[in-house]
Amino acid sequence: MAAVRGNTARRRPAAGRPAGLRLGFHLAGGMRVGLFGGSFNPAHAGHAHVAETALERLGLDRVIWLVSPQNPLKSARGLAPLAERMAGARAMARGPRMIVSDAETRVATRYTIDTVRFLKARFPRVRFVWVMGADSLAEFHLWRGWAQILRMVPAAVVARPWISLKSRGAPAARRFAGARATASAAAGMITQPPPRWVYLTGPLNFQSSTLLRQRMTRAHD
């Protein structure tokens, strides 16, 4: 996942990136696939809760955990190596319908909008939906081309502790208020033309990467 300020993103050329042809996974036409991006530094049960909620509530065939090489909104300081974060995500992404991928590294994309464009072009018959926690929705308006992303793929936002009320009043939520689907219509939303998004509530998981890193740091002091 990647983001910066701005709401218009130029299209990057897809040529010249042979690694992008070897993504490490295959998707069949007609599949319903969630794209769940993040640093996963480290991955934790809260991430798994978001992915599993989207998987079940939207009736997805797969959820792809897109482990970002570097999120431009966050400092690289304290960022664990990609291989370590991939391993942590695999430990949390349980089940055959979960895929942990370094596609953004392979395709050499820094921004979510470029990743989404690439995957839609590579798998034109797959129905993609962007999956994120409510904490990401709260800052979604800072992502590069955020409005374009919501016009390319539907989005599912899963409630997270402490941020849920704030996220519902976030700029992206206000901008696309008229495109919000009801939770009962979440599964059907994927077949409708974007922009469409849904806010999914349920039991909350209180784990966060920040708290886990703090605990790990204290353990090594």
pLDDT (tens place) for every residue of the chain, 221 residues total: 544 444 666 665 544 455 456 899 999 999 999 999 999 999 999 999 999 999 999 999 999 999 999 987 888 888 999 999 999 999 999 999 999 999 999 999 989 999 999 999 999 999 999 999 999 999 999 999 999 999 999 999 999 876 665 677 899 999 999 999 999 999 999 999 999 999 998 765 455 434 433 333 333 34
CATH code of 152's domain: 3.40.50.620
Q: What is the 3-state secondary structure (H, E, C) of the chain?
A: CCCCCCCCCCCCCCCCCHHHHCCCCCCCCCCEEEEEEECCCCCCHHHHHHHHHHHHHCCCCEEEEEECCCCCCCCCCCCCCHHHHHHHHHHHCCCCCEEEECHHHHHCCCCHHHHHHHHHHHCCCCEEEEEEEHHHHHCHHHCCCHHHHHHHCCEEEECCCCCHHHHHCCHHHHHCHHHEECHHHHHHHCCCCCCCEEEECCCCCCCCHHHHHHHHHHHHC
Range of the domain at 82: 28-220
Tokens 């690694």 correspond to 19
Length of the chain: 221
CB 99 within 8 A of CB 63: yes
State the Cα–Cα distance between residues 197 and 180, nearest whole angstrom. 5
Output the pLDDT for position 72: 79
Strand partners, 158: 133, 200
Would 201 be classed as within a structural domain? yes
Number of domains in the chain: 1
Cα angle 191, 193, 199 (rounded to 5 degrees) comes to: 75
Would 23 be classed as within a structural domain? no
Would 18 be classed as within a structural domain? no
